[in-house]
Every structure is written in structure tokens, then in C-alpha cells.
Structure 1
């Protein structure tokens, strides 16, 4: 009996010790563990969408009156100029709706290309009401009409160009105004190539023989000089003809019939426009004219292309004609 009691007490002690250990473990501090962040799935970058090209509706052109916003692709262009800038437009595929005429005629070398174009009679004053009726979206005008620039610019965006000695500058500004500058430059490059070929033929034919250009006007005679005019640039820069020593250095000068006595070149180019006049006949019949070396040697050549050579179409035609006249 005594042994049984001892055994029971021993078992009870074991149970109490086990219970105490269990409570001690439960009440102890547990180590906090940082939560494991969920692994982020890398997100794909959104594909860049190509920017939509926005079609320009306007361009800004710098000219002698400042800067002017013009239509990106003008469709109703009017040229108001005493030189043939409409030829520059035609050379880059732009046909104006109206252009200036002399004696109610377009320049002969452009007449067939300007069929259907409204003629604007040449005058120092522009018919503003007529222009308004035509509803242009761009006006290209020469500095001759500077005094009415403000009125013109109220009708449509107006680009004013100074008529200078360098036809290329005028041509490029004209083509820039209609958004065709690159095409305008290409036209010049093609003309330069043509001029180089023509010049070679002329040098072989003429050598050091001298040349002078003149125009018999209604009341006097224009002797063209070496520079500052599209005609002079064509003859002496592009075609490299040998100018007569006595001609003016610049644009040229107007002289009387008697003034011709100081000029005596080997060849003369006659680019007279007014031929059906009494003055023209009097010059042709005069002793002064008939005593000139070029006249006596039958070396006066009349150019059919005689509008001033301000545009590339006439310049190309003129090169062909001059080569045909001199190279025989």
C-alpha cells in the first residue's frame, strides 16, 4: 500500500512539472517575423504611340515688309509685278489666277501657259476692288506698289519683293511664298547646268569679240550695263560673253541717238519691245546707227525673248536663242 502511494505521488510531481514548463513556454515572447513581401510582377512599359502629323495650315514668310503668315498651300495666287515672276510660279507648277499685263498682253513666252488667267492691266495704281472680287488667298507684289501695301494686305496675305539685280533672289522668294522653295532651287541648278553648256559653245564661236545689249524705247535708247539687271547677269555671268569696254558698270543708262557714237561693239543684241514707232524707224534710218561696226557687219541680232529675263522660263529660252544666233 505504501509503495502504491509513493508511486502516485511521483506521477503527480511529473505532471505538475510538465504543466509548469508548458505555461512558461506559452507566456514567453515570440520573435516577430517581418512579413515577406509578395514578389512584384514587373509591368511592361506601354508602347509609345507615333505622334500624329499635324498638317500645317500656315507658314511664315520673311520679306521686305517684315514677316507674313501665308497659307501653307495657296490656291488663289495673284502676281502684281512689272517683271515676269509668274514665270517663276509656272516653273514650279503653280498657276496664278491673275497676273499683270502690258498693253493687255501677257509676256509672249508665257502667254500660252497663262491661258485662263485673269489679266491685270499694268498701272502704277492697283485696282483694289478688282482684286477683292477675285478673292485671292495670296498676293505677290513688287516694291513698285509699296504705297498701297497696307490696302493690299487687307485683301489677302501679301508678300512684297524688291526688284533687285539678282533674279535668283526674286525667283526664290517668289517660290518660297507658295511653299515651293526646294523646287525653286532645283530650277536654278538646272539652269546653271544649261548655262555652262551654252557658255562653252559661245566661247568657242566668239573668242574675245565684244557684245552689247540695247533696247530702243519710245523716246530714247537703253544701253544695258554689266550688272544689276537680269539681262546683264544672263549675258556676262551665265553665258560669260565679253562686254564692250564702254558700257556702264551697273544697270545701264538711257541715251539719245547721238549718244550711240561712243559705243562700237563687235556684236549688238537688240531687245527692243516697241518696234512699231516713229522713233524706232528714225533710229534704224539714221547715219549714227548705220555707221556702227556691228550694223555694217550685219552683226545686230534681234531677240524674240525680250521681256527682261526675270524668270527661269524666259532665261532658258533666251539661252537657246542666243546660242542659235551666235553659233553658226
Structure 2
């Protein structure tokens, strides 16, 4: 029933969109490849690319108004690009850079509000093709508004280079990566990680727990600081390319590393006042808990975009005191 209802809603929106397109005339770009025109100096104004889903798309070499549907908005911001619109419905209150969202219009969730997208008159749309929520019908609807390019959820550096290449900002992407690596080298002197030390990241949502693979906050531990994932985390999540998985309290010790990082928005007072998991006997039996090697981290740091990673490096010494 939900699928059928979603189909008819999408059909209604698409019908409305077609009417708006007719009214807007040339404001909407068709998805069919076009012949690239040239600027007076001989530089092409368009280029043809093949995206992560195999679409061949003709896009502007220098897009003026971009709409972004993914969750890693920091990719664009790190390249000095502020999109006209983005999917802010979920991430706006979660990211570590709310100050950089000023002036960006919310287009809704990953499927996007087509009327809102159309009203922004974008000349390029970037669409996250990762996860199971990607639907070709969503792509087709967006591609009728402006050339739409999909990209995969690659590791941060790889993803940034792909976005940079699409937007003609590859040099800026390379520079950010080099600058970040230099910053990491300085940070490692402040946060000494011994060879072979393991770490695990749990997310606490109410009384429910999830263990993280190598995504979000975990990437700063494993890929940047040099912690090793706990063996169980590597075997059951990372080796299977799983981003996260729910875990019962009883088996938490099996996933726990030498250090625990618990992502939660509850402060110590809130945990003490409630039926806190910290009083659970199983939790107390974890070696990292007994050794007082547990850190409570705000969930806003559970993204792996460049802006979040850069700001997280500045905050880690405080968070890990």
C-alpha cells in the first residue's frame, strides 16, 4: 500500500512539474545530451560525464546553481561551494557546521520536493546513489529539471576527489586533502595511539545500541588516528561493508575494543537520572569501562565529510579528556 501510495503521489507531483515546466519555458534543461557550446575564449561551457549509476550526462563546466540531495554536504562546502538547495530535513539539526547552512534552501529528503527544486532553477543536481533508498524514478524526475549526476558513498578522500572532478574543483579537493593530512600529523602528537590498540564506536539511541563499522565517526579513529577495529567489529561489519548494526547489551563485550566511544546526545546528568545503561552489570564488565577508557561523543560528529572531520580534529583533545 505504501508503495502504491508513493507512486500516485509521485505521479501527481510529476504532472504538476510538467505543467510548471511548460510555464517556465527554457528554464528547465532536458536530460538528452546537447552539443557543447563554447565561450569566446574557446573554453567549453559543458562537458560529458558518466556517473556512478552509468548515466551519461552533459553538465556545465562551471555550475552556477547546484542542488544537493546527499547527507555529506560538507563535501561541497570544503570546496568553497554553497549549493542553492540541499536535503536539510534530517541533517540540519545534526551536523557540526550549522553556521555554514545559512542561505541554503531545504529541498526535503533524498527524494526531494520537486516543486522546491524546480523553483530554485538549478543548472546541476548532485544525487547520492548510496544505500538502498536510491530509485531510478527519483533520478528521472530530477533529471527533467536539470542535469543530474549520481555519486557513490566512497571514503572521504575518494568521494571529495570525485565531487571535485564533477564540479571542476579537483585542485581544491587535492589541496584540502594535503592540508588535512598535515593537520593530522600534528594532532597525532597530542593523542598518542599505541601500536595495536583497538577501539569500538557504539551509538546509543534511548536504550538501544548500535555498533559502527568503518563509517562516520569511526573513520577518524581507524583511518586517521590509527586505532584498530575490535576483531568482532572487523569480521561482522567492516569486512562485509556494513556501516552499522544493532547490538544487544548482552553481546556488547564481544564487540568492545580497548577504548569505547559512545555516540549519544545525553549528558552525564541525564544518564545518571534515568535508568542508565552505565549501571548495567554487563556494561560494567567491559574491560574498557573498568579501565575508564570510555568517551561520550555528541552524535553531531558521526559524519565523515571534510568539514566535520576538520572540526573534529580540533575538538578531539577536549572530547578525550
The TM-score range, normalised by the shorter chain, is: 0.7 to 0.9
1:259 aligns with 2:244: no
Matched, 1:155 2:145: yes
Give the C-alpha shift of residue 237 in structure 1. Answer: 2.2
Change (3 A) 1:108 1:281: farther
Distance in 2, matches of 1:138 and 1:130, equals 14
Q: Deviations over 1:191-224 (max 9, x none)?
A: 1222233234433x65654321111235732212
How far apart in 2 are the matches of 1:80 and 1:219? 31
Counterpart secondary structure, 2:80: coil
TM norm structure 1:
0.71
2:118 to 107, 127, 132: 132
How far apart are the structure 2 equivalents of 1:131 and 1:188? 31
Q: Distance in 1 between matches of 2:298 and 2:266?
A: 12
CA distance in 1, matches of 2:171, 2:275: 46
CA gap 1:72/1:219 in 2 versus in 1, 3 angstroms: farther
Does structure 1 conserve the Cα–Cα contact (< 8 Å) formed by 2:142 and 2:148?
Answer: yes
| Contact 1:76-1:96 within 8 A present in 2 as well | yes
CA-to-aligned-CA distance 1:255-308 (integer Å, 9 cap, x gap): 12222132343321122368899xx95534433223323334432212236343
Paired positions, count: 267
- Partner of residue 10, structure 1: none
- Cα distance in 1 between the residues matched to 2:119 and 2:294: 46
Once the two structures are TM-superposed, the CA of residue 102 in structure 1 deviates from its matched residue by 4.3
Tell me by how many angstroms 1:117 deviates. 1.1
Deviations 1:230-254 (A, max 9, x none): 5443211221124333323413432
Name the structure 1 match of 2:262: 270
The answer as to whether partners of 2:86 and 2:106 remain within 8 angstroms in 1 is yes
Question: Quick one: structure 1 residues 207 and 69, their matched pair in 2 at CA, closer, same or farther if it must change by over 3 Å?
Answer: same
- Structure 1 residues 156 and 194: CA distance shift in structure 2, 3 A: same
Larger Rg: 1
TM-score (norm 2): 0.73
Partner of 1:292: 286
Displacement of 1:104 after TM fit?
Answer: 7.0
Contact 1:303-1:321 within 8 A present in 2 as well: no
The aligned residue for residue 7 of structure 1 is: none
The equivalent residue for 1:13 is: none
Task: Tell whether 2:86 aligns with 1:94.
Answer: no
**What is residue 312 of structure 2 aligned with on the other side?**
318
Name the structure 1 match of 2:95.
108
Q: Is the 8 A contact 1:217 1:274 kept in 2?
A: no
Matches of 1:191 and 1:281 in 2, distance apart? 41
Cα displacement (A) at 1:110: 2.0
Query: Which residue number in structure 1 is paired with residue 295 of structure 2?
Result: 301
| Cα RMSD after superposing both structures | 2.8
Q: Identify unmatched segments of 5+ residues in structure 1.
A: 1-51
2:220 pairs with 1:234: yes
